[in-house]
Structures are given as structure tokens and as C-alpha cells.
């Protein structure tokens, strides 16, 4: 009576699911995911995602983060490696070492970290003696 093409089909979600660690959750250990991760709880360990990592206002991570993008409203202590953009909201508190391509910081954020920006090669200023040697080397 019903042909195969007219039967109801189950729709699968086309949007990737985000992982969520709620505020009453505490994790000790490493987290690895291909999907986005939102952390409103506490994590002691490393977090790695090929997507976006969001640390909510009550979230806290002590460890190493590796991701494509990150939005931080809460607290982070450790090493932070962001391939693209790091956005720090006004309530963010960051301590440690940060490596990013782009950085956006809202007024009020506490950024107590050493920061390296990828892709921005800056030639160090030469001392006067080195400049003279450099000039002499070009004419020789």
C-alpha cells in the first residue's frame, strides 16, 4: 500500500552537537572532541577540540587547551593554543601562556599571560653596531 519512497524518513540533525560540561560537574583528566565544547563546570586537565571551546562565566580550566577558536567568560590557568581567534569577555581571567592568531579582549578582562601571536613576524631592532655591519655587508 505504501511505496518505499513514501514512508516517513527520520531526519538526522545537520548541525554538529556541542559537548557540554554543566556547572555542577568536576572533571579530572583529558577531554578530546571533534565537536565544540562548552564548559560551565571545572576541568583539571587538557582539553582538545578541532572546533570551538567556550568557557562559561562559572567555568574553570586548569591545564592545556588546544582548539580552533575559543570564547572565555570564566577562568583559565595554563597553556592556551588557539589556531584562529581567542575572544575574552569582560569577566574572563586568564593566567599562563597563550598562542593565538587573533585576539579580541573586552574591557574588564584580566589577561595575565605571556602571549605569542602566530603569523605576525616582527623583525627585532638591531643595535647600532649591528646596523653598521649589516650595511657594510650589503656593499661588499
Grid coordinates of 95: 593566567
The 10s digit of each residue's pLDDT in 20-53 is 999 999 999 999 999 999 999 999 999 999 999 9
**Residue boundaries of the structural domains of the chain:** 19-117
pTM given for the model: 0.74
What is the number of alpha carbons within 13 Å of residue 112 lying toward its C-beta?
A: 7
For residues 70 and 54, what is the distance between their CA atoms, to the nearest angstrom?
6
pLDDT tens profile 103-139: 999 999 999 999 999 875 545 555 555 556 666 665 5
Q: Find how far residue 32's CA is from the centre of its chain.
A: 14
Distance (Å) of CA 117 to CA 19, 102, 134: 28, 7, 28
* Distance (Å, whole) CA 114 – CA 87: 16
Amino acid at each position: 500500500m505504501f511505496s518505499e519512497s513514501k514512508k516517513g524518513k527520520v531526519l538526522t540533525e545537520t548541525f554538529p552537537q556541542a559537548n557540554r560540561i554543566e556547572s555542577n560537574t568536576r572533571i579530572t583528566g583529558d577531554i578530546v572532541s571533534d565537536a565544540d565544547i562548552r564548559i560551565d563546570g571545572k576541568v583539571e586537565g587538557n582539553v582538545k577540540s578541532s572546533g570551538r571551546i567556550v568557557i562559561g562565566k562559572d567555568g574553570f580550566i586548569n591545564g592545556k587547551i588546544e582548539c580552533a577558536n575559543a570564547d572565555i567568560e570564566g577562568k583559565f590557568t595554563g597553556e592556551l593554543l588557539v589556531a584562529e581567534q581567542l575572544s575574552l569577555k569582560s569577566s574572563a581571567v586568564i593566567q599562563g601562556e597563550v598562542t593565538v592568531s587573533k585576539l579580541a579582549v573586552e574591557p574588564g578582562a584580566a589577561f595575565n599571560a605571556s602571549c605569542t601571536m602566530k603569523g605576525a613576524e616582527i623583525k627585532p631592532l638591531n643595535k647600532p653596531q649591528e646596523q653598521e655591519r649589516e650595511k657594510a655587508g650589503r656593499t661588499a
